[in-house]
Amino acid sequence: MLPFAGYFKVLKEVTRHILRRPVVGIAAAARTEDGRWLLIRRGDTGQWALPGGTLEWGETLRKAIVRELAEEAGVDRVTLSDVLGVYSDPNRDLRFHAVTIVVGAIITAPTRPPDNPVEVLEVRLFDESEIPISLAHGMSQMLELAQKGERFWE
């Protein structure tokens, strides 16, 4: 049985499909000072992904990414850097049309588990050589370009 928060997340996804409008998402290309990259393993696909989520009503992008890093990855100390990419291809994510803004961040290692274990199954720091080849929802390109320091927008 899903906890209440899990049901709420499902309801939000259904609502997005009904409204048929692009949603604004933000994702962190986050790494520790020693160069390890933070990824989460998603509950919906079982694949690894950048931590992030959608902008909530009345929230700034800065507050959203700090909130998402805390909720999804248990990260409490974040130093944000530049916008690294803006991804708007409607075919990138089959769930809905998302405009995702990727932001660079330097973080400390996670200190606690994710808030919603239905949404996020696992959190891990990866050395560059360990990063999975394929990330969820078209995020492989996002991380690859962030690692190279290349800016991207579509």
Alpha carbon distance 154, 148 (integer Å): 18
Q: Per DSSP, what are the bridge partners of residue 30?
A: 105
Query: Which of the residues 68, 122, 128, 144 is marked catalytic?
Result: 122
- Whether residue 71 contacts residue 33, with contact meaning beta carbons closer than 8 Å, is answered with no
64 phi/psi in degrees, rounded to 5: -65, -45
DSSP letter string, 101-124:
EEEEEEEPPP-S--S-TTTEEEEE
| Dihedrals phi, psi of 74, to nearest 5 degrees | 70, 30
Q: Is 59 a catalytic residue?
A: no
Q: Which residues are tagged catalytic?
A: 122
